[in-house]
Copies of this chain bind each other. A is one copy, B any other.
Amino acid sequence: MTRIESGGVCFPKGFMAAGVKAGIKASGNLDLALLYSKEPAMCFAAFTKNQVQAAPVLYDKGILFNQNIVSAVIVNSGNANACTGCQGYIDAATMAELVEKRLNLGKFSVLVSSTGVIGEPLPMGKIAAAIPDIVNCLKDDGSELFAKAICTTDTILKTGCVSVQTSAGEVRFGGSCKGSGMIHPNMATMLAYVTTDLMLPKSFSTEFKTMVNESFNSITVDGDMSTNDTCVLMANGQSGIFLNDLSNEEQAKVCEALFDLMKYLALQIVRDGEGATKKIEIEVCGARRKAEAIQVAKSIAASSLVKCAFFGEDPNWGRIVSSAGASGIAFTPAKISLYFEDVQVVKEGMPVKAVKEKLSEIVKRKEYKISLDLSLGEAKASVFTCDLSYDYIKINAEYTT
């Protein structure tokens, strides 16, 4: 596992960022963020699979359908610009256009993201007024302000960076994300921005998708996503190094660093889960196919009963086995094994006796791993989840629209 350093989206060469107060949030906190690459960057993106997609998601997908090069991303927090109809789309496009003009960029070179309340029109007057300001504030060390301005209910800043030494020189990656709800959040959409000065080929989109699936999509515990979820990777090539020119070993090393950064950012979201007191890894191995391992792991990770048991520090393996059985994936109950860390709890479908003391120690930990072996094949996958606590209810019941 690569060591992730502190730093953010401005760590790779050629990126600038800013965060300002536009007055969108009632709290008066930072609520407008801008990420800018001095040279046009190759862009890869993944969006929510929700049928109901916010205007900025629809706008960005339209842009990236036609091209892969963008120069900037403008993000507002405090308002999701979702369920806002045609006007919402016009507002998203206007936000992008205002930034393009101010930065002397061509048309369709800026992406837009929004996060916050659903169904309210964007306060375009405030946003338009703040755009000259935010462009003036762009700085080479604007990572932290950017990271702050994209937050909503987040309690910790989620940033990280990593550099990789190759025979052709140094390659840098930086990133920032937000999100603190676990399940298709409302005020707590997941947004993630990763930057690099590496030059990437267009064909990297396949690899990027896999990385997103195994990082940010492995914490969306039930496959649900919000109306606004977005993950963007911008590669501006300013290191002068092209991925395909590296040796196979170095390509693998560079890709691993990127993936580890994405996973690090994703796990920060789990740690900051609404009301969460624990982070649990659910590993399913011995599956016939990876997709099946993921489905079983997500079924366990999303179960309210399982998550309550985590909170109660109860090694309730029966709930875990039952959730696996309800996943829709076929397996033979009499073949399965279940482990809490290295302690076997279930063997061939039946409980292993005399492990209660070891178990009760493990479930008291802040972070631990549960492994379910289906004994059907070689495929495996991990999903990360948190516990379901009183505070989750508090945050989500007492938040009033």
Say yes or no for A341: interface residue by CB 8 A criterion.
Answer: no
A368, CB-defined interface residue at 8 Å? no
A68 proximal to B (CB < 8 A): no
A78-94 CB contact bits vs B (8 Å, 1 = yes)? 00101111000000000
Q: Is the beta-carbon distance between B184 and A321 smaller than 8 angstroms?
A: no
With known contacts A52-B325, A318-B83, A318-B401, A308–B186 Cβ distance under 8 A: no
- Inter-chain CA distance A389–B49, complex, in Å, is 29
Q: Is A106 an interface residue (CB 8 A)?
A: no
- Please indicate the chain B residues that have their CB under 8 angstroms from the CB of A351 in the complex: 83, 119
Cα–Cα distance between A396 and B311 once the two chains are bound (Å): 9
Give the segment of A127-135, A168-176, A218-226 that binds chain B.
Answer: A218-226
- The reply to whether B226 and A82 form a contact with Cβ atoms under 8 Å apart is no
A311 touches B117 (CB 8 A): no
Q: Nearest chain B CB to A332's CB is how many angstroms away?
A: 8
Kindly list chain B residues whose C-beta atoms are within 8 Å of the C-beta of A334.
85
Given contacts A398-B312, A401-B314, contact A84 B325 (CB under 8 A): no
CA A224 to CA B319, docked complex, whole Å: 11
Residue of A82, A311, A317, A322 with highest tally of chain B CB at under 10 A: A322
Question: What does the 1/0 interface line of A51-65 toward B look like (CB < 8 Å)?
Answer: 111000000000000
Q: Which residues of B contact A299 (CB under 8 A)?
A: 224
Q: How far is the CA of A311 from the CA of B398 in the complex (A)?
A: 9
Could you tell me if A397 and B309 are in contact, using CB atoms closer than 8 angstroms? yes
Cβ contact within 8 Å between B311 and A397 = yes
Residue A392 at the chain B interface, CB threshold 8 Å: yes
A318 partner, pick from B53, B186, B330, beta carbons under 8 A: B186
Whether A324 lies near B183 (C-beta < 8 A) is: no
A286 located at the interface, meaning its Cβ lies under 8 Å from any Cβ of chain B in the complex:
no
Q: Is the pair A52, B85 in contact by a Cβ cutoff of 8 Å?
A: no
> In the assembly, what is the distance between CA of A303 and CA of B225, in Å?
11
Q: Once the chains bind, are B326 and A223 in contact (CB under 8 Å)?
A: yes
Chain B residues in 8 Å Cβ range of A227:
318, 321-322, 325
27 contacts between A and B (CB under 8 A): A50-B322, A51-B324, A51-B325, A51-B326, A52-B321, A52-B333, A80-B318, A83-B346, A85-B349, A117-B318, A118-B318, A118-B322, A119-B350, A186-B322, A224-B303, A224-B323, A224-B326, A226-B322, A227-B325, A308-B396, A312-B399, A314-B400, A314-B401, A388-B397, A390-B390, A390-B394, A392-B393
